[in-house]
Structures are given as structure tokens and as C-alpha cells.
Amino acid sequence: MKFALALSALVLAGCASVGPSTVARDRFDYVEAISDSWKRQMMLNLVKVRYADAPVFLDITSVISSYEFRGQAGIFGQEAPEGRAGDSFIGANVNGSFTDRPTITYAPLSSDKFAKSLMAPIPITGIVLLLQAGYPADIVLRVCTNSINGLANSYGGRGARRGDPRFQELLSLLRRQQEEGLLGMYSKREQDQQVVKMSLRESEHAASGVRLARIRELLGVDAGVHEFTVVYGAQPTAGDEIAIQSRSMMQVLVDVGSYVEVPAQDRDEGRVYMPQRDQEIETLFPALLRVRWSEKQPDDAHVAVKYRGGWFWIDDRDHTSKSAFNFLMLLFSLTETGSTQAAPIVTVPAR
């Protein structure tokens, strides 16, 4: 009887600790799984647009993992009466069961949500947030914009543009301003409207004044102005305006995807669009990340997906490409406006 009671107590103790004991394991396992699938989905869609295939995004809206642990313990026996024939015996039994029922809900990016996330221009306020967060100005503006005050960025999709060398010069100068703490972007309310402002300050060094004068010259703004109103558009309408024509997320994917390495056979057979880039353009507008192709699955990849019988991947030792790829994922999150939910809800009931 003591043995059976001990077993029962052990089973009950195990049941009481099922819920708390799963938190540390499940939290990190689900984060790792969702993160890995998100990276692979972004990479796959980057490759698909390279082949003029339709990108498909599938959001994980909720994760519900239900655990149930049941156990039973018992003792049985029989004793024959004195003086009568019969068997005397005693025994015990223990049994238990454990059930794991994960339920994951997926929602495809479609209709209005698709249009807002992929087809609408990236909000100017989103670009400001990236610059305020310290992301390099030349990378942010190179990825997110088609033009700044009429200076055209390069583009690798259909209707490819070479890009204006003055655009790249402007980005380099703005990056220098940012590194020296002389570039500021912020938003404020003016006459019941949210207005985006850019400030260009000058330091005591002579080189700073020369650089600022060149920035004003490239932008075509009034001399002596230090604070500018940033608007969406192709051309400014005033001498203190900076007009940014931002890209959509689809344009970003197409342009970045135009640098994805493809097998020679696909290129020769015309399965992918090959923008014409001479040495000057390659130097002025180099690839922001390098996506490699191989017939076999790579051993050391930051992210890898299989498509059309081959593997497209980013080397885990290529820090520049990894950083650029993670920036794309962040940018996609900023343009995700179709849901009020910032991340999947994970619910883990335990019984």
C-alpha cells in the first residue's frame, strides 16, 4: 500500500509542473522556428521575383500548443480466508499518457492587405524612422527611393534605369553628414498635419561647409537653408523642399532580386531578365547583397531555399549580405499595415 501511495504522489507531482516547465522550452523553440521560416519565405520570394514569378507571403497569426498529461496508480490484492483453499496475492499498476496538440494558424497576404504591404509606396515617415534608428543613409535611400529631387536611382526591373551618378554622390555626402551627427530627420505637427523635416547642420570645419554646399547644389535647393520639408513626389515645389519618390516593397524586391545569381542555362535561355549594367554602373551601384546559387544544398548558409532544382543561399560568413537581408525583413515589417497585430500570438494551455 505504501508503494502505491508513493507512485500516486509522484504522478500528481508531475501533473502539477507540466505548464511552467514548458515555457522555457516552447518560447525559444517557437521563436527559432518562426524566425527561420520567415527568413526562408523572404529569400524564396526574392528568388521568385527574379524569375518573374508571383511572390506569396503567408503570415503566422497564432500558435496554440495544448499539453495534457494524465496518470493513474493503483494497488490490488487478494487474501484467502484461513482454513480455505485460495490464492493470496498483492500487486500494483501505474499508467500515464502525454498529449501535445499544436494548432498553428496561417493567413495569406492578399487583396487589400497585399496592396498596402507590397504595392503602396513606402511611407516617408517609415524612411525617417529608419534614419532615426541609425541605419546608414546611403543604404536606406538606395533601397527605398526611386528619386530624390529629380535625381534618379538605378533600377534592375523591367524598364531598368542606369541611375544618375549624382544620386550616388548625394547618398555618399548624406552618409558622411550622418556619421558626423550633422543630419537630422524628424516629424512634427504643423497646422494639424504631420510634417517630415530634414535638417542639415554645418560644423566648424571648412570641409563641412564645402560638403553642405555641394548637397544643396545637388538637391537644387536655396542656399543658406538648413531645414527642409520632406514630401512625397518626383520634384520639389519650393526652394526648401526635398521631394522623395519612394518605392513600393515590390519594387524593392525586384531591384534587389535583379542581383541574385542564377545558373548560366537559365540566363542563356531567357528565363530571367538580365538588366544591362556596364562597369561604371556596377561600380556606382553595386549589389547590396549576394545571393549565390549551387546545385547542392550548402553546408554553411545563413538562409537557403530550394527552387527550380537548385539552391539559392547567403553565406553565413558574408556579414554585409546578412545585414542587408535582415534590413529587407525589417523594411517589410514597417510596410505591414494590413494587421493591427505586430507578431504572432502564442497561447500554451496546459492541463
The CA distance from 165 to 159, in Å, is: 18
Q: What is the pLDDT of residue 318?
A: 95
Q: What is the pLDDT of residue 217?
A: 95
The CA distance from 331 to 308, in Å, is: 27
The grid coordinates listed for 124 are 516617408
State the Cα angle at 182 between 180 and 183, rounded to 5°: 115
Q: What is the pLDDT of residue 67?
A: 67
The CA distance from 202 to 226, in Å, is: 9
Q: Residues 327, 139: contact at Cβ < 8 Å? A: yes
Q: What is the pLDDT of residue 143?
A: 95
The grid coordinates listed for 1 are 500500500
The CA distance from 339 to 4, in Å, is: 54
Question: 220 φ, ψ to 5°?
Answer: 70, 30
Q: What is the pLDDT of residue 337?
A: 42
Give whole-number Cα distances, 245 to 18, 98, 167, 185, 214, in Å: 55, 57, 13, 17, 21
Torsion 292-136-245-286 (CA) sign: negative
* 3-state SS record for 256-305: HHCCCCCCHHHHHCCCCCCCCCCHHHHHHCCCCCCCEEECCCCCCEEEEE
Q: Residues 170, 218: contact at Cβ < 8 Å? A: yes
The grid coordinates listed for 58 are 503567408
Sheet order of strands, 310-315 included = 292-294, 310-315, 301-307
| Tens of each residue's pLDDT in the chain, 351 residues | 444 445 455 455 444 556 676 776 777 787 888 889 999 999 999 999 999 998 888 877 777 777 666 777 778 776 767 766 666 767 777 777 767 777 878 777 766 676 677 888 998 988 988 998 889 999 999 999 999 999 999 999 888 889 999 999 999 999 999 999 999 988 888 777 888 999 999 888 888 899 999 999 999 999 888 899 999 999 999 999 999 999 999 999 999 999 999 999 999 999 998 888 888 889 999 999 999 999 999 999 999 999 999 999 999 999 999 999 999 998 988 776 433 344 455 554 545
Torsion 164-178-137-127 (CA) sign: negative
Torsion 157-162-165-167 (CA) sign: negative
How many CB atoms are closer than 10 A to CB 5?
A: 12
Q: What is the pLDDT of residue 89?
A: 67
The CA distance from 4 to 9, in Å, is: 9
Q: What is the pLDDT of residue 341?
A: 41
- The distance in angstroms from the start CA to the end CA of the chain is 28
Q: What is the pLDDT of residue 336?
A: 61
